[in-house]
């Protein structure tokens, strides 16, 4: 007798059976996330130990714990537990009662996370007791391997997104209190730890130990490696939550049957004009400039800020290079760019659930990638056609066209690839790729409209 038959025999309703099955599935998915988070903590600890054993200085966040372990009884892992528990205590004055109530689980989870991380560091240091690079080149190799291992762990930690380390949570609270960007606050926090490590080392050991060129290297290269590694974790989607996402998407489709057309485009390819044509032909709402007003209204973000900064990234090379924003998930980030992207993503998902429509840009093809009945279009063009359209349609002076096309496309590529981990313009990401340099926009409109009609009839 099957479980369903047995339950029906016992008088349990079909609805209750499926609700219980869904609850069990959710519990399994949560358990998987926590298990992977523990794995990520071990990888992080192993990476920290590998960097430390290179003898070129340790990572900024563990610099003070390593220095303290050099002239006191407790180990590096034990000092990690002590310092992080102290941070957890210091977080209380920074939190309002409402925040503590809303984030109680996240706050309390820092304690077991801290204990696990400290124990894993000591275990990893013991595992690597034979690692003693004899030459400077061997030390450099050990340092780079350690940075790569640490990046792999951080990327996995962000992927599962169930808890935060005390250091990141502490900095996040400071950023909220001071209303400053998380990245800059984290950069200042890490720099302060390194400076404090140097001072403590000078006072108690009469020299600088535990902080060397490896500390700077780790601060500079771990972040970029995280961004390279992160997309490879997409294979975990199915194991973690893809089935749930598909169920939600199917439910949404059964409920509303909405069809959404997303248009990504090179500058000057006429993507917005194509959107206007489709809106008129199909009787759909076009969201491009109107989208800015909706995001500003629903998120509270200044409209002019959205106009100036959407689909771009910070121009500060120091922040882009050194800011450890990569250590926290997008939905917990305080970076203005991340907050704007998350706000736009929510609006895109709400629009897709509410009505059939056309959305231009904003990584909509990626945000709606799991949703059926989404037609993903990419428009591109040769330079001559794009330049001519920029002059005739966008009224850009001919002498400024080349630079405008180059800079706008560069910004769109950086923005798309940063937030999606995919290659902008890759035909595998879209249902239809159109060269508007040789295919008239009217013809392109007909192609998309035919595809829309076929999906609507099916």
| Average pLDDT estimate for 403-417 | 89
Evaluate whether 194 touches 63 at the Cβ level (below 8 Å): yes
pLDDT at 312: 63
* pLDDT over 50 at 353, yes or no: yes
Which residue is it, tokens 């600890």? Answer: 45
Tokens of 33: 């996330």
Q: Tell me how far apart the alpha carbons of residues 284 and 357 are, in angstroms, rounded to a whole number.
A: 5
* Residue 262 buriedness (CB in 10 A; 0-12 / 13-18 / 19+): buried
Is pLDDT larger for residue 339 or for residue 149? 149
pLDDT at 36: 93
Q: Tell me how far apart the alpha carbons of residues 261 and 278 are, in angstroms, rounded to a whole number.
A: 9
Evaluate whether 121 touches 80 at the Cβ level (below 8 Å): yes
Full DSSP string of 5-64: HHHHHTT--HHHHHHHHHHHHHHHHHHHHHHHHHHHHHHHHHHHHHHHHTTS---GGGHH
Angstrom CA distances, 258 to 261, 368, 456, stand at: 10, 12, 9
* pLDDT over 50 at 244, yes or no: no
Per-residue pLDDT reduced to its tens digit, 3-19: 544 444 455 555 555 55
Per-residue pLDDT reduced to its tens digit, 254-306: 445 789 999 999 999 999 999 999 999 999 999 987 788 887 777 677 777 77
For 285, phi then psi, to 5°, come to -80, 135
Mean pLDDT of the chain: 84
Tokens of 81: 């537990």
Angstrom CA distances, 353 to 226, 293, 404, stand at: 33, 19, 35
Is pLDDT larger for residue 240 or for residue 434? 434
Helix, coil or strand: residue 380:
strand
* pLDDT over 60 at 234, yes or no: yes
For 333, phi then psi, to 5°, come to -75, 150
Evaluate whether 47 touches 136 at the Cβ level (below 8 Å): no
Of the candidates 69, 70, 95, 100, the one whose C-alpha atom is nearest the C-alpha of residue 82 is 69
* pLDDT over 80 at 171, yes or no: yes
Q: Tell me how far apart the alpha carbons of residues 218 and 213 are, in angstroms, rounded to a whole number.
A: 9
pLDDT at 186: 84
Q: Which of 202-216, 289-303, 425-439 shows the lowest mean pLDDT across its residues?
A: 289-303
pLDDT at 88: 96
| Average pLDDT estimate for 133-161 | 93
Residue 233 per-residue DSSP state: G
Tokens of 329: 């998930």
pTM over 0.85: no
pLDDT at 329: 60
For 263, phi then psi, to 5°, come to -125, 110
Q: Which of 17-21, 119-123, 322-326 shows the lowest mean pLDDT across its residues?
A: 322-326
Evaluate whether 37 touches 155 at the Cβ level (below 8 Å): no
Q: Which of 211-220, 237-246, 284-293, 348-357 shows the lowest mean pLDDT across its residues?
A: 237-246
| Average pLDDT estimate for 47-62 | 93
């Amino acid at each position: 007798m099957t479980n369903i038959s047995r339950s029906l025999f016992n008088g349990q309703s079909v609805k209750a059976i499926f609700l219980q099955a869904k609850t069990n599935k959710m519990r399994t998915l949560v358990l998987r996330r926590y298990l992977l988070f523990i794995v990520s903590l071990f990888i992080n600890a192993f990476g920290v130990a590998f960097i430390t054993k290179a003898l070129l200085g340790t990572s900024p966040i563990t610099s003070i714990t390593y220095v303290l372990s050099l002239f006191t009884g407790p180990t590096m892992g034990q000092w990690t537990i002590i310092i992080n528990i102290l941070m957890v205590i210091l977080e209380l004055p920074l939190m309002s009662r409402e925040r503590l109530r809303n984030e109680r689980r996240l706050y309390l989870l820092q304690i077991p996370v801290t204990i696990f991380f400290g124990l894993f560091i000591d275990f990893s240091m013991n595992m690597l007791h034979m690692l003693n690079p004899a030459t400077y080149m061997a030390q450099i190799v050990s340092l780079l391997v350690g940075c790569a291992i640490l990046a792999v762990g951080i990327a996995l930690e962000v992927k599962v997104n169930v808890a935060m380390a005390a250091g990141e949570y502490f900095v996040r609270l400071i950023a909220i209190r001071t209303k400053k960007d998380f990245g800059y606050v984290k950069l200042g926090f890490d720099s302060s730890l390194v400076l404090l490590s140097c001072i403590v080392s000078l006072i108690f050991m009469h020299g600088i130990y535990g902080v060397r060129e490896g500390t700077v290297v780790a601060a500079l290269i771990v972040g970029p490696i995280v961004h390279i590694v992160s997309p490879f974790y997409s294979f975990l989607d199915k194991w973690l939550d893809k089935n749930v996402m598909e169920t939600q998407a199917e439910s949404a489709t059964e409920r509303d049957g909405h069809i959404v057309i997303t248009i990504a485009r090179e500058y000057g390819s006429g993507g917005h004009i194509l959107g206007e044509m489709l809106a008129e032909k199909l009787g759909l709402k076009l969201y491009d400039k109107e989208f800015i007003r909706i995001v500003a209204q629903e998120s509270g973000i200044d409209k002019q800020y959205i106009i100036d900064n959407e689909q771009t990234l910070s121009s500060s090379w120091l922040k882009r290079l050194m800011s450890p924003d990569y250590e926290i998930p997008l939905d917990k980030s305080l970076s203005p760019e991340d907050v704007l992207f998350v706000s736009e993503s929510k609006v895109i998902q709400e629009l897709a659930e509410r009505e059939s429509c056309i959305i231009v840009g904003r990584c909509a093809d990626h945000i709606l990638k799991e949703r059926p009945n989404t037609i993903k279009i990419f428009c591109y063009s040769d330079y001559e056609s794009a330049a001519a359209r920029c002059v005739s349609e966008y009224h850009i002076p001919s002498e400024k066209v080349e630079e405008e096309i180059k800079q706008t496309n560069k910004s769109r590529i950086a923005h798309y690839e940063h937030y999606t981990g995919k290659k902008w313009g890759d035909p595998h990401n879209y249902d239809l790729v159109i060269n508007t340099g040789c295919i008239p926009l009217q013809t392109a409109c007909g192609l998309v409209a035919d595809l829309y009609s076929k999906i609507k009839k099916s």
